[in-house]
Amino acid sequence: MAVKTLSLDGQLISARDGQTLLEAARESGVSIPTLCHLDGLDPVGACRLCLVEVNGRLMPSCLTRVAEEMEVWTQTERLQRYRKQIVELLFAERNHICSVCVANGNCELQDLAMRLGVDHLRYAPQEPQCEVDLSHERYGLDHNRCVLCTRCVRVCDEIEGAHTWDVAGRGTNCRVITDLHQPWGSASTCTSCGKCVMACPTGALFHRGASVSENVHDRETLHALILAREEKQWLV
Amino acid sequence: MDLEDLIALAEAEQRDRAEIEVRVCTAAGCLSSGSRPVVSALERALADRGLTPRVRLREVGCMRLCCEGPLVAMDVLETVSSPEPSLYGKVTAGQASVLVDVIDNKQATTEGLQPIDSNGPFFSRQRSVVLEHCGLVEPERIESSIALGAYRSLHRALHDLNPAEVVELVTRSGLRGRGGAGYPTGLKWATVAKMPPGQKYVVCNADEGDPGAFMDRSILESDPHRVLEGMAIAAHAIGADQGYIYVRGEYPIAISRLDTAIRQSKRLGLLGSAIFDSTFNFRVDLRIGAGAFVCGEETALIHSIEGLRGTPRPRPPYPAESGLWGHPTLINNVETYANIPVILREGADWFTQIGTEHSKGTKVFALAGKIRRAGIVEVPMGVPLRDIVDQIGGGPPEGSTVKAVQTGGPSGGCIPAELLDTPVDYESLKALGSIMGSGGMVVMDQDDDMVGVARYFMKFCMDESCGKCVPCRAGTVQMYRLLDRIECGDATNDDLVLLEELCDLVQHASLCGLGQSAPNPVLSTLRFFRHEYESRFVEPTGPRSSSVSSEAR
């Protein structure tokens, strides 16, 4: 297998051909913040948090493949500023009130805010009118917490194979929907497998009737499933 | 069909010319100002006078001076004595009989008719390359296009040149993409041509959605065969056998005329299988866009043709490598394809003589706004903006002065009056923070408020964002709100700082061209009209309002 050497934050590293910059960076112990990315799902490069500077250009590290003699910077002042702005924009976009959220303490958006030092918002909250869909017997959907990362859409399509989820609307009026914009409970394609809930980074998708401490997003099960299918590794 | 048949058809059509031909514009502009009743009234009047065999009525496409529509032109064969060939504007159905009187030579007076000087600066300062047959051919009759030479270049490409030579010719011509970004067309063609043989596609981007732009619409409605011919030549050059024209649904006339044109070309064997008795097959299908601005972005357009949600994806891979259903795909704009037949006909050297060193050929603009003569104009690249505004457009109306010219729609910017001597080419406009864009050009006068203009375009981008990436989806909303506050005189300098920071983020971090260029109208108005922003600030009083300092939750 071909190996590429590149520079990452000034250090020379080697990476396997075909690896993304995100994977190579993680292997080298450099952590790049992400939100829409989830190992095993097709990357979409939508949240723009994992942008890195490659030879002076901004590239999404989840999608950019390593190449010989790349010069990559992952933590420049400019990138940190953009990341902070993006998280602030997300907080201002919907109603992310952590103190009354089922994902409090187990939320990737909250983690990002702490990691990036977002301690106040400079942008006016949009305060949209968002619905809560409790029509499904086991799960709930709270649009107030949704960051439109489309992990639920992809996990349902790519891992479960049901494609119950999709996105409707345009711009800030985008909403994740089930089937043809029916209540989740009446979406006939839904298999109630719960993978979308496992994949959700925030409290948008949750187990009904579970407390904050019980609403843990179980990424391990997802990863195990992906490993089992793609690499025939069965972790018992 | 072979070349002889094509020439025979052209000659038959030429022979068939009537002594006097009356052309009425039935492109969108004139139709909306009432050219359909004019056609009916003229038809009736000609029939009543028994002039029908001697005088022929032709429904043609755009005659450019859209603000004077409906336009009616009269052509007279040289062998016939009087009346004079002429062009009339703002013709009403009621004036049909007066027009027929003029034709019939019964009455010398042209009372009530509004003649237009077809030698005036609006026409004489233009250079027709792409639009050479617009307003002359009948878009719904292929014979009339063939009479003016349509499909000759395709024949030449198939029988006298090999694909590599066609690509070489386009490369040498220096043609750059007319969709706005100005990527070298020949290079794009060469890239797709060099991909391994197999399924390839040719796509025409006719999803013109910029506010104030209607050039592609005019071309499609007036001379659809020219675009089809350009696509077929491209398909031959890169090795494709399937093409798609992605037209926005808001252009019903263009859609119907393209549909007719495709059917007529197929019937004559100019599209479909074994074109001109060669081994080249090319099928063209129409795809109707549902009116999402983002679908003009090439990767979103590809998703839309595939039947998916029209959202862009990061490039690379570029469509030239992996486009429709993962196959190499050539995407060009309407005007780019419309340039191809003439480049093959006249040669690359001829084409390179028009325009500037780095921007060859002509560019079609849709001139609108505070201007005396609005419509479609085609000028050689490098012409100063001032020539377009003052000479072709006739300057601003009585009592107003030009303040700025907006080019490139929501992705472009405002060029202030003092910089109107800037030549129109890709690099010069870019240096001013604007872009050529697809060719919308809106003239603004002293009454236009630049903050309002920026706010208008930001609202457009906010509404049209696909919602996939965060900077564009959420950033444009915040920028719109800040602009709104500034316009209402409700903001302070801190808001401007915040706005500029957001411009930086949205411009550099967005996924596709829509977001990356959305801040341009703000940045360019800030660059040239910053005082208009600053003059509205209020003094900050006490603690900042709730909109800015929400505590982290």
The Cα–Cα gap between B421 and B437 comes to: 19
Asked if the Cβ–Cβ distance from A92 to B470 is below 8 Å, we say: no
Tens-digit pLDDT profile for residues B352-404? 999 999 999 999 999 999 999 999 999 999 999 999 999 999 999 999 999 99
How many beta-carbon pairs below 8 A join chains A and B?
113
Backbone φ, ψ for residue B250 (5° rounding): -75, 0
**Average pLDDT for residues B33-48, to the nearest whole number?**
94
Give the pLDDT score at B543. Answer: 52
Residues of chain A with pLDDT under 50: none
When pLDDT is cut at 50, 70 and 90, the band that residue B108 belongs to is low
Distance from C-alpha of B20 to C-alpha of B82, rounded to nearest angstrom: 10
**pLDDT tens profile B212-267:** 899 999 999 999 999 999 999 999 999 999 999 999 999 999 999 999 999 999 99
DSSP structural state of residue B328: -
What φ, ψ does residue B467 adopt, rounded to 5°?
Answer: 90, 5
Pick B478's closest partner by Cβ from A45, A92, A147. Answer: A92
- The helix/strand/coil state of B393 is coil
Nearest to B386 by CA among B429, B423, B421, B427: B421
Are A66 and A19 in contact by the 8 Å Cβ rule? The answer is yes
Position with higher pLDDT, B546 vs A143 = A143
pLDDT digits (tens, 9 = 90+) for A97-124: 999 999 999 999 999 999 999 999 999 9
* pLDDT tens track for B467-518: 999 999 999 999 999 999 999 999 999 999 999 999 999 999 999 999 999 9
| pTM as predicted | 0.93
Q: Which of A172, A174, A177 to mutate to test the interface with B (most CBs of B within 10 A)?
A: A172
Q: What is the pLDDT of residues B68-104, one digit of tens each?
A: 989 999 988 876 666 777 899 999 999 998 888 888 7
Q: Name residue, tokens 């030479």.
A: B149
Q: Are B218 and B139 in contact (CB under 8 A)?
A: no
pLDDT at B135 exceeding the cut of 70: yes
**Contact B491/B482 with Cβ under 8 angstroms?**
yes
CB contact under 8 A, A174 and B313: no
Identify which of B309, B469, B548 has the shortest CB distance to residue A124: B548
- DSSP line for A129-190: ---EE--SSSEEEEGGG-----HHHHIIIIII----EEEESSGGG-EEEETTTB-GGG-TT-
Distances (CA, A) of A164 to A112, B158, B310, B329, B429: 28, 49, 18, 30, 47
Q: Where are the beta strands (DSSP E) in chain A?
A: 3-8, 11-16, 51-54, 57-60, 71-73, 132-133, 139-142, 165-168, 175-178, 205-207
Which of A96, A120, A169 is the closest to B467 by Cβ? A169
Q: What is the ipTM of this complex?
A: 0.94
Q: Do B469 and A82 touch (CB under 8 A)?
A: no
